[in-house]
Structure 1
Amino acid sequence: MGAELEGRVAFITGAAHGQGRAIALSLAKAGADIVAFDVAAKIEYPAYRQGSTEELRSLEAEVAALGRRALVAVGDVRDAAAVQSAVDAAVAEFGSIDILINNAGIVAYAAVDEMTEDEWDAMLDINLKGPFLVARAVVPVLKRAGRGVIVNNSSVMGLRGGNRLSHYVASKHGLTGLTKAWAIELAPFGIRVVSIHPTGVNTPMNDGLAELEGSTALEIAERSAGNLLPGVPWIEPEDVAELVLYLVSDRARFATGAQFTLDAGLLTR
């Protein structure tokens, strides 16, 4: 199993920490070279800590220690020029891209009658427009190769509603829709497209969201989730990474246009 992605290149957004980092390391262990794209700076909304350049550099070192190559690129998924520059650099360094993980995203609470237009725009721009801009830059590379996999990291909220989360839910339902549309459009080129839908994940985002809410990460997880399995307020980034590894491998060669939940039973309720 250790070399099932040998010779492949994975472009991962939001790679500095959390789910993106776990996915990068999992794919590197399976033999893939990694392009790690992250804003690596504090953004205006939401005002919790994002990834950092230090985390990107330590990820680069960890990938190298696994015997794989890593290219780190700092940029915002809302910045089409920065995205294209990173894709061009990846192709120059590795020759191609085989896997795209649209992982970068944000979450924040806001009542619909209290939400500002800027908050709405930031959520939709990062969570929905961002994946479009990244895919627009990467898909021509995948088409030239005649194969590829795109994994869009949605959420259980991309398949249901959520209290005080209308902008987040709208963005994630939109990403689910993009997955279905792209799967149809790109199938003739040998490109598979799937979405994943985790329940709450134990990442720095939970800590940041708790700080904004004056709560704790555990309370945030329990409020958002209500997982069916007992004693599971959240899952770990490595759990998500294991699912992604399967989906980008040839073991899932017939999976496209589908939604894969990793929700500890939440959506069964």
Structure 2
Amino acid sequence: MPAPYNLDGQVAVVTGSTSGIGQAMAEALARQGVNVVLNGFGDPAQIETDRRRIEAETGVKVLYHGADMTRPGEITDLIDTAWRELGRLDILVNNAGIQHVAPVDEFPPEKWDAIIAINLTSAFHATRAALPVMKAAGRGRIVNLASAHGLVASPFKSAYVAAKHGIVGFTKSCALEVARQGITVNAICPGYVKTPLVEAQIADQAKARGIAVDRVVEDVILAAQPNKSFIEYEQLAGLLLYLVSDMGAGTTGAALTVDGGWTAA
């Protein structure tokens, strides 16, 4: 029996959705009858396999657009393609993100620039392109994937923390601008989810801190999460579905945590 989200026939763009959190969110939307535009890098054959699988399992239309999130023109074309090919745009999930771990004085400038571009600036470009469509329709839902690191900091992640704090501020500012136009803008702030990105961080953290890999999860990765458990994709998808449905219409400008108690202290 379908959940009472009433999303049938809507259209969503989910950036960074060829793996990890983004893919899980795209699939959750598709299962509720939302036509989805996937975006991200990866093996083209695998991306096509996943696209066809989601279509077959859900019966919705699933497109793929390979926009590079560092290129504003390609981001605009991603949004334009969704509207042109699917006839509407109801939901934008700004999820694309990368990570690099290093002390500030050893942080490669090119890594800083890439993280800010993909984790923060791409959300501006996608939102800027999507809002005219949503304003014309009188309704829209924008959900930005921030992080617990959008609210608190950790060492060796200066670019990521700066970008995610920026996402939270961007979310609030946008929400105030469109609060009376049927559009909500919110941020989800997860704790650690065992994504490919986090798997890579484990090795990076071990190198940066000079400790064994098997100690990183217990002493570093989940050290700040009181529940000592990775956040599950389904937990994030549940919050997403609430926010993009009519049930979430009264929630805007919020930075909502799914972090196992990390930011409670």
Q: What secondary structure does 2:106 align onto?
A: coil
Q: What secondary structure does 2:70 align onto?
A: coil
In structure 2, runs of 5+ residues without a counterpart are none
What is residue 241 of structure 1 aligned with on the other side? 237
Deviations, residues 38-85 of structure 1 (Å, cap 9, x unaligned):
1x1xxxxxxxxxx43234213312221211111100121111111122
What is residue 29 of structure 1 aligned with on the other side? 31
What is residue 43 of structure 1 aligned with on the other side? none
- Number of aligned residues: 256
Structure 1 pair 202/130, CA: closer, same or farther in 2 (3 Å)? same
Q: 1:224 aligns with which of 221, 224, 236?
A: 221
Shift of 1:210: 2.9
Shift of 1:172: 0.4
Q: Is the 2:202–2:221 contact (alpha carbons within 8 Å) kept by the matching residues of 1? A: no
Q: 2:182 aligns with which of 190, 202, 208?
A: 190
Q: What secondary structure does 1:188 align onto?
A: coil
* TM-score under structure 1 length normalisation: 0.89
What is residue 15 of structure 1 aligned with on the other side? 17
Shift of 1:217: 8.3
Q: Confirm or deny that 1:138 pairs with 2:130.
A: yes
What is residue 79 of structure 2 aligned with on the other side? 87
What is residue 60 of structure 1 aligned with on the other side? 51
Q: Which segment drifts farther, 104-113 or 207-216?
A: 207-216
What is residue 94 of structure 2 aligned with on the other side? 102
Alignment of 1:157-176 (within 5 A): 157-176=149-168
RMSD between aligned residues: 1.8
Q: Partners of 2:105 and 2:27 in 1: how far apart?
A: 41
Structure 1 pair 24/222, CA: closer, same or farther in 2 (3 Å)? farther
Q: Which amino acid aligns with 1:63?
A: I
Q: Which segment drifts farther, 5-14 or 111-120?
A: 111-120
What is residue 7 of structure 2 aligned with on the other side? 5
In structure 1, runs of 5+ residues without a counterpart are 41-50
* TM-score under structure 2 length normalisation: 0.91
Structure 1 pair 218/17, CA: closer, same or farther in 2 (3 Å)? farther
Q: 1:254 aligns with which of 245, 250, 253?
A: 250
Q: Partners of 2:242 and 2:9 in 1: how far apart?
A: 16
Q: Which amino acid aligns with 2:36?
A: I
Q: Is the 1:180–1:258 contact (alpha carbons within 8 Å) kept by the matching residues of 2? A: yes
Shift of 1:220: 4.6
Q: Partners of 1:61 and 1:260 in 2: how far apart?
A: 32
Q: Confirm or deny that 1:203 pairs with 2:195.
A: yes
Shift of 1:188: 2.7
Q: Which amino acid aligns with 1:22?
A: A
Q: Partners of 2:89 and 2:20 in 1: how far apart?
A: 22
Q: What secondary structure does 1:104 align onto?
A: coil
